[in-house]
Amino acid sequence: MVTISVCMIVKNEEKILGRCLDCLKDIADEIVIVDTGSSDGTKETAKAYTDRIYDFEWVDDFSKARNFAFEQCRMDYIYCADADEILDEANIEAFGKLKEVLLPEIDVVQMVYKNQLEYNTTYNFDSELRPKLYKRCRNFVWEGSVHETVRLTPLIYDSDIEIIHKPQGMHNKRDFGLFIKTLERDGNLDARLRRMYARELAVSGTDSDFEEAAPYFLKFVEEETDEDDLKEDLFVIMRAFRVSGDKEGFYKYALRAMAIGASSETAFELGEYYRGNGDTDEAKLWYYNAANETEPLLCSKYGSEYPLKYLK
């Protein structure tokens, strides 16, 4: 049977940390809690489950906190948990059985992340496989009877274990701040983070959030090589120019969006523009396009709920 370190980074999670750890205490061979600056009773709650509690000075970087937390783990595998996750009894039992049969050559176990749409997260689907269990020490293996090479791709097992995500609220303002700080520090975001920034804006951004993001997305537009990424960037810019009243800027980037093919998001923005200018018929044409002739890239509501509200 393999051993498991439950590993968490937390801050001000007093209300829900016990709920999470109650699900994991019988699975874990050790529980490692890294606190990044709680001002509530988070650490006192954690002490009821473990003495492996560490402080880490928050430096606006989740990866650095995660890396520090992983360094404290000692078991065969590391289960990376968040405080707003729970397992029901059936999945606690399934996790225990996994411990008994997990083959040592498996590097990563994926589990099914659930309930995302219910809590208005940045995803367009209610469940997805996510890597959650990681082998702490990975062995490198040579492959091939001739022209041998070291296997670099991890061996991944897709399990049926379901993790229920039950956040207390959105983390969008925190995330927007971290995106901006990273851009100011590093001058750019990689493609994955650009998509996450655009997606969080689409799901939960306010007008001011879009306006704050616009200067960075104007730079992204000139650098993009992927067409879908370009459409996402253009949506952010169109929204920012629309709400700021910059008609020339709005038309410039709306035309770019139409030239490469509208997404539901960019079509919806055109509907919003014309509705705001009192042209109801033109607005409905673009709302229809958003709902029926294009596909959403960032948030499914731009292809359904949002435009359909004006097509009744």
What is the pLDDT, as a whole number, of residue 120? 52
What is the pLDDT, as a whole number, of residue 169? 63
What is the pLDDT, as a whole number, of residue 263? 96
Q: Which residues contact 80 (CB under 8 A, 6 or more apart)?
A: 7, 8, 66, 132, 133, 134
What is the pLDDT, as a whole number, of residue 122? 54
- HEC sequence for 50-72: CCCEEECCCCCCHHHHHHHHHHC
**Would you call 135 helix, strand, or coil by DSSP?**
strand
Q: Among 84, 234, 78, 282, which Cα is nearest to 166's? A: 84
CB 302 within 8 A of CB 264: yes
Q: Which residues contact 147 (CB under 8 A, 6 or more apart)?
A: none
Classify residue 90 by burial, with Cβ atoms within 10 Å: 0-12, 13-18, 19+: exposed
Place of tokens 């104007």: 218
What is the pLDDT, as a whole number, of residue 127? 82
- Give phi and psi for 288, each to the nearest 5: -60, -40
**Residue ranges, the chain, pLDDT below 50:** none
What is the pLDDT, as a whole number, of residue 90? 97
What is the pLDDT, as a whole number, of residue 208? 96
What is the pLDDT, as a whole number, of residue 167? 80
What is the pLDDT, as a whole number, of residue 170? 63
Could you give the domains of the chain?
A: 4-165 (3.90.550.10), 172-308 (1.25.40)
CB 110 within 8 A of CB 130: yes
